[in-house]
Amino acid sequence: MKAPLLALTAVLLTSALGSLSCAATRFTIARPYRGTPCPPSEVIAPLPSLGHDPKPFELERSPDASDRLPVRSAPSYTHRFELETSGTTAALRAVTADEGQPVLVVGDRGTALVRDPKSGWKSEQTGTTEDLFALSRAPSRIKGEAGSYLAVGSHGVALVRSPEGAWQSEATGTLADLHAIWGGSLVVGDGGVMVARSPEGSFRRVPTHTTANLHAIGRCDTHICAVGDGGVIVDCSFATGEPVCVPRRPPTTAALRVVSNEVFILGEGVWLSIAPRSASNPDPPPEWQPWRLAGPSVAGSDARAAARNHWVGAEMLVAGRRGAVWLVGNFTVMKHPVQRIDVPYTVDFHGVTYERTDGFLVGDAGTIVKLGVMSFRPPTTCLAATDALAGPELTDSRS
Amino acid sequence: MQILASSLLLPLMLARCGAATRPSPPAGPEQALQLGVSVWDDTSMPVRVAPSACRQGEPAWLGAGHLYCFQVTETASYRFELAPQFQGSIQVQERDREHPWDFGVGQASAKPGEVAVVRVALDPGLYQVVIDGSHWPKTGYWLQVDRDTSSSALIGREDRARVAALEAHAEPLRLGERAFGVYRSTPGGARTSCGLVGGDAVRRLTLDRPARIRLRAAAHFPPAIEVRALHENRSLGCAGAVEGSHEAELVVDLPAGEHLLVLDSLAIARHHMHFETNGIMTGAYVVDAAEVAP
């Protein structure tokens, strides 16, 4: 009786953790079925290396390993960081690597780069010498057309890249420097400027009721938040279908630079998370407080960009000034999820992307660092619909 | 039976949208449904499918349930009562303004001899009231709807004791500074004379001399702002957001002394955005106060 009980306990624990992971990471836990183990899923390889870096930096990590729950083991992966030659010395500000789309980078002096898997980074003509600070997928002008990107930058510049790689400027109606984009449609910048872009490419101002410089915008709980200098957080509700934005009481005086993962706002020496709510149904707008799990490595360091990997243990990649890089593990099961990585780079990083087995960090002096997660094997679920309806018989795969 | 008898005394009239379940629907145009309706009906007859004003020509097919429509012409709190002779339930549904679907905005159930009550704040529009008796012995029920004037109504008069408690804990509003807050609509809460939904947003403004003050409010909801003499229910000025705006501005000459700023909402929450919240509105606001030249 003891073995089946142990097996059941293990399955329940695994299922519970799997459920946690499912909601956050879109993959499920493999489990044996009627004595037949699930066939292992195939290893997903990262994008092939360009071979530019003779000494890649490697790190072994287990982003799902719990130090709070009695789980026997969690998968561990080698994280390989390697420099890639960009062919430019311009500061690179933003990077995207959407599945099925080319890896794109934009930066100062109108720089735009696209990564060829074999020949490396190639420059594209953007037709502008303005600095480009942000890059995002853009809603399609034409139904069915996919793969357009929106870049914004200094003096209110906005450019749209067609799937074929042609860049075309758009009039934003502002001369303010524009620093961040959310959803390809909301853009924020200096002086509290926020503009909303229609799929047809027209822009209109959205009142923010602040004059602070806004550096980032993203999902924060069920709202959208723009953040900036002086701890400003502008909370935008879409209850009426249109953005209605109101500043919140600043929880810090530090400049805030990143909105990430729906529950984090990062800035100069401070990482914030959502405070517990005092009321619900309907939920009030989120309140922000210093994240208690941020750890000591956050103080004195400036985070500038973050991206969350929905596959590899809900891991978040954060980068900032003076070569600061953090990997944040699954904070639902870890006591100390934030790990500062001593990478062999000292430049200021401005942009990151990280999904599945691939990440990129871009920064000053044309720096591009590729992050590859090695030996990643996505967990699977065994489905046997007919038998499952009759009642699955779960067995311990060790028996 | 007492409840049923008292129902008859209420000046109510609620007619069914269509003839979805009546054995002998009246010929001619469907009856208009008005506030203040009392209906006796039963669910024992076979279900029929018929065009309905609620459904705008779509079949009103509800299994064994009964469907009524209810036209609201004024934003207010409403009270729906169902007294079934079976274990029945009532659900109030809002028609989506842009899509062909409905949202349940309130529901309740009751055993025989009990009354199921749905209290909900509603905006103008067309609503459906569904009586569900499909799973129980099908017998009669009373249904009535009226304005909700109880102390628990979301839209109603201020409760002076509640407002006094808010006044006692009101944070100061200082000239030249921005006040940040989160408003939540509350039955009996502080309600401006030009607003609609009372809540918990009050601030204390102290002036050591008479001054012309400009107050600007911005909020996630359409706000109204009012200045009162502290501890007095006397308005010194009130202004609300214009249609479609989420900002309000009030310029008012105030005497020296202590004043109370009240901020509330001109709208309830859209139900389809806040399912089962009875229209409770919550959202962030800011108020900027400044002295301006007379």
Q: Are A70 and A17 in contact (CB under 8 A)?
A: no
Within 8 A of A209 by CB-CB distance, chain B residues are 218, 286
Whether A218 contacts A250, CB under 8 Å: no
B285 touches chain A (CB under 8 A): yes
Same domain, B104 and B238: no
Please indicate if any CB of chain A lies within 8 Å of the CB of B184: yes
The pLDDT assigned to A143 comes to 55
Residue A24 shares a structural domain with residue A67: no
CB contact under 8 Å between B284 and A246, yes or no, is: yes
Q: Are residues A338 and A360 in the same domain?
A: yes
What is the domain count for chain B?
2
Based on the fold, state whether residues B98 and B217 are members of the same structural domain.
no
A365/A392 same-domain check = no
The answer to whether residue A195 scores a pLDDT higher than 50 is: yes
Does residue B199 share a domain with residue B97? no
A34, A64: one domain: no
Residue B36's pLDDT is: 82
The domain total for chain A is 2
Q: Does residue A223 fall inside a structural domain?
A: no
**Would you state the pLDDT for residue A393?**
41
Contacts of B150 (CB under 8 A, 6+ apart): B79, B119, B156
Instruction: Determine, yes or no, domain membership for A209.
Output: no
Give pLDDT, residue B127: 86
Q: Can you give the residue range of the structural domain that contains B243?
A: 160-292
Q: pLDDT grade, residue A384 (50/70/90)?
A: low
Beta carbons of A152 and A178 less than 8 angstroms apart: yes
Per-residue model confidence (pLDDT) at position B250: 98
Q: Is it the case that residue B27 has pLDDT exceeding 50?
A: no
The predicted-structure confidence for A52-62, as pLDDT tens digits, reads as follows 999 999 999 88
| Residue B154 forms part of a structural domain | no
Q: Is the pLDDT of residue B10 over 90?
A: no
pLDDT in tens, A114-156: 999 999 999 999 999 999 999 999 986 555 567 899 999 999 9
For chains A and B, CB pairs below 8 A equal 60
In a shared domain, residues B12 and B109? yes
Q: B147 — contact with chain A (CB < 8 Å)?
A: no
Report if residue B19 sits inside a domain: yes
Do residues A24 and A61 both lie within one domain? Answer: no
Average confidence (pLDDT) over A168-183? 97
A7 and A51, same domain (yes or no): no
DSSP secondary structure letters along chain B? -HHHHHHHHS-----BSS-SS-SSPPSSSPPPP-SSEEEEEES-SPP---B-TTTTTSB---TT-EEEEEEE-S-EEEEEEEEESSSEEEEEEEEPSSSS-EEEEEEEEE-TT--EEEEEEE-SEEEEEEEE-TTS---EEEEEEEE--STT-SSS---HHHHHHHHHTPEE--TTSEEEEEEEEEEEEE--TT-SEEEEEEEEEEESS-EEEEEEEEESS-EEEEEEETTS--EEEEEEPPTT-SEEEEEEEE-SEEEEEEEEESSPPPGGGSTTSTT--EEEEEEEEEEE--
- Residues B135, B181: one domain? no
- Is B283's Cβ below 8 Å from some Cβ in A? yes
- Residue at A242 is within a domain: no
Tell which of B98, B117, B147 closes a domain: B147
Average model confidence (pLDDT) across chain B? 80
Last residue in a domain, options B147, B172, B203: B147
Residue A70 within any structural domain of the chain = yes
Say if CB A91 and CB A130 are below 8 A apart.
no
Q: In this structure, is residue A73 part of a structural domain?
A: yes
Q: Are residues B140 and B91 in the same domain?
A: yes
Residue B113's CATH number: 2.60.120.380
- Same domain, yes or no, for B117 and B60? yes
For residue A29, the enclosing domain spans 1-41+387-399
With pLDDT > 90 as the criterion, what percentage of chain A qualifies? Answer: 66
- Decide the pairing of beta strands B171-172 and B197-207: parallel
- B230 CB near a chain A CB, below 8 Å? no
Question: Nearest-CA residue of chain A relative to B267?
Answer: A240
Residues B143, B16 within the same domain: yes
Question: According to the model, what pLDDT value does residue B3 have?
Answer: 34
Residues B15 and B121 in one domain: yes
**Residue A52 falls within a domain, yes or no?**
yes
- Cβ–Cβ under 8 Å, residues B84 and B108: no
**Is the interface score ipTM higher than 0.90?**
no
| C-alpha gyration radius of chain A | 22
Alpha-carbon distance of A388 to B237, in angstroms, equals 68
User: Which residues of B, range 239-258, sit inside 8 Å of A by Cβ?
Assistant: 246-247
